């Protein structure tokens, strides 16, 4: 009895549904991804062999540029603490701030880089005006160290939480400014902080190495 030959047909798969799913996932990631805001303060950090990634939560950042100017910043993820710090400083120095001026410090990426005498006018600037504003920096000299007040207010605002204090200094910064920062920390009985550096030669298997493997761009490293 002759065998019945089954005609061979090419296998086709309808990929329409798969394409729809792929574009839906792509749209989801684009809309939900939080991009890192560009750094307003240009600082070239020194290099080091680091093993630990910088903290991302409850961060208070003190920045020192190459001219020795000092800036104070609180993470955007802590809006309540930012408001409490500003209110405490304004009350301590007898400065009356409007709601609009307070909003100047509340907006994303905002930092303080002026003495108390210019605080009110500085907070009144728009975000675009701040970019072109030549700040004087927070005074940290031995006769007038205003950073003491800012750190003290931050220490109080983060009561009950672990405040992650980071210091980011330019590689060409002068020592007197750094000494002023250290003095302000000591006055508030803070003896431990993390330095942000530019990591190189990260040992494999460390926390920072794992972070770099999972991130599209390296996060700043810290040295205790």
- DSSP result, 46-58: PEE---EEPP-SS
- DSSP-H helix ranges across 68-146: 79-93, 99-106, 119-123, 127-131
pLDDT for the residue numbered 96: 96
pLDDT tens digits, one per residue of 100-118: 999 999 999 999 999 999 9
Q: How far apart are CA 116 and CA 138, in angstroms?
A: 8
The domain spans of the chain are: 65-192
The highest-confidence range among 9-13, 28-32, 97-101, 213-217, by mean pLDDT, is 97-101
DSSP symbol at 66:
T
Beta bridge partners of 62: 72, 167
- Report the greatest alpha carbon distance in the chain: 111
Q: How confident is the model at residue 174 (pLDDT cuts 50, 70, 90)?
A: confident
Q: Report the C-alpha gap between 146 and 135 in whole angstroms.
A: 15
Q: How many Cβ atoms sit within 10 Å of the Cβ of residue 90?
A: 19
Least confident of 51-60, 78-87, 161-170: 51-60
What is the three-class DSSP state of 220?
A: coil
Contact 170, 64 (CB under 8 A): yes
Residue 68 Ramachandran class (φ > 0 left, ψ -120 to 50 alpha, else beta) = left
170 contacts 65 by C-beta, under 8 angstroms: yes
The DSSP bridge partners found for residue 103 are none
How many residues would you count in the chain?
Answer: 224
Average pLDDT of the chain to the nearest whole number: 81
Question: Per residue in 66-91, pLDDT tens?
Answer: 888 999 999 999 999 999 999 999 99
């Amino acid at each position: 009895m002759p065998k019945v030959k089954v005609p061979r047909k090419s296998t086709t798969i309808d990929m329409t549904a798969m394409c729809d799913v792929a574009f839906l996932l792509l749209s989801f990631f684009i809309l939900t991804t939080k991009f890192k805001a560009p750094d307003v303060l240009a600082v070239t950090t020194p290099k080091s062999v680091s093993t630990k990634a910088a903290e991302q939560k409850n961060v208070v950042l003190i920045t020192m540029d190459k001219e020795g100017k000092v800036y104070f910043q609180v993470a955007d993820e802590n809006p309540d603490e930012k408001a409490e710090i500003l209110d405490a400083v304004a009350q301590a120095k007898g400065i009356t701030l409007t709601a609009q001026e307070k909003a100047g410090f509340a907006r994303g990426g905002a930092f303080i880089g002026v003495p108390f005498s210019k605080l009110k006018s500085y907070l009144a600037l728009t975000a675009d005006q701040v970019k072109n504003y030549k700040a004087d920096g927070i005074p940290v000299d031995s006769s007038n160290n205003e950073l003491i007040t800012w750190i003290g207010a931050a220490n109080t605002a983060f009561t009950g939480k672990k405040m992650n204090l980071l210091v980011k200094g330019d590689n060409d910064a002068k020592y007197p400014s750094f000494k002023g920062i250290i003095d302000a920390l000591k006055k508030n009985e803070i003896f431990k902080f993390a330095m942000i550096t530019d990591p190189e030669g990260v040992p494999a298997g460390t926390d920072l190495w794992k972070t770099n493997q999972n991130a599209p761009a390296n996060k700043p490293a810290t040295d205790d």
